[in-house]
Amino acid sequence: MELLATLIVADAESQLEYERSDWGSGWSDADGDCQDTRQEVLIEESTSPVILEDGGCRVEIGRWYGAFTDTWFDDPGDLDIDHFVPLANAHRSGGWAWDRDTKRSYANDLDDPGHLIAVSSSANRSKGARGPEEWTPDHTGYLCTYATTWIRIKVRWSLTVTPAEHDALSGLLAGCDGSVTFSTTPPAPTSTTDPPSTTAVEPMTTTDAIDTPANPGNSMDCSDFATYAEAEAWFDTYFPVYGDVARLDNDGNGQPCESLPGGP
């Protein structure tokens, strides 16, 4: 599958100062079940059934794969929930113009399974608000997923990338399988004032770009496939766009349901 993503390249520019409180004070609990966004992510991403503390509001024990560091965790206290595209980065990429409700929706987005991910606390703090032009995960086997997820979130939320960010993403994608490519366009003016300065970038090209498939959610598991080839075909359809949304690749090596007949 090949996906064409169009990114807007512009120098980072904000007409408002970044205020973390504008994006919400802590995690929200949108469905009112006492499990806030952090707990929802921990429950969703655990590869084994979680054990909840008394009251059922907080996760006490689970099993998580930290893709940034290629390590496993059992204690949620060792994990941060990472905004894949950090809030401060989203702010200077165009999010500064959003109203508070939109900012808080972004900060707590659970619709895209790659938007918020559980990672080691040390990796999250090392990353901070930096983009791929300044920081990439130590786990080199994750770099293609890192680049494609970053692009998907930027496109989904109509956020810009800087020229340096564009070049860094281009470099990361050069080492991937070519399933995701992107072109660049200058931004449209957003006000009567002078628009942000833009940088002309040579577009990346693709040949057989197709429509983005709908997000299937966690609708399949390995028992739904008769062979590895069937699981791989399903995985290859959705993974480049939404990541491992059905959690078929438990060891993060890019190969789903390896125990099925015909597996590697």
Residues 61-84 pLDDT 10s: 999 999 999 999 999 999 999 999
| Residue 173, token pair as written in the block | 């994608």
Q: Which residues, 6 or more positions from 174, have their beta carbon under 8 angstroms from its beta carbon?
A: none
What gap in Å lies between CA 167 and CA 147, rounded to an integer? 11
pTM (2 decimals)? 0.69
Q: List 6's β-bridge partners, or say none.
A: 183
Contact (Cβ atoms closer than 8 angstroms) between residue 218 and residue 41: no
Using 50, 70 and 90 to split pLDDT, how confident is the model at 241? low
Q: Which value, in Å, is the radius of gyration of the alpha carbons in the chain?
A: 19
What gap in Å lies between CA 104 and CA 254, rounded to an integer? 32
- Rounded to 5°, the CA angle 149-204-183 comes to 60
What gap in Å lies between CA 260 and CA 106, rounded to an integer? 37
- Rounded to 5°, the CA angle 231-142-102 comes to 90
* pLDDT per position as a tens digit, 125-182: 999 999 999 999 999 999 999 999 999 999 999 999 999 999 999 999 998 876 666 6
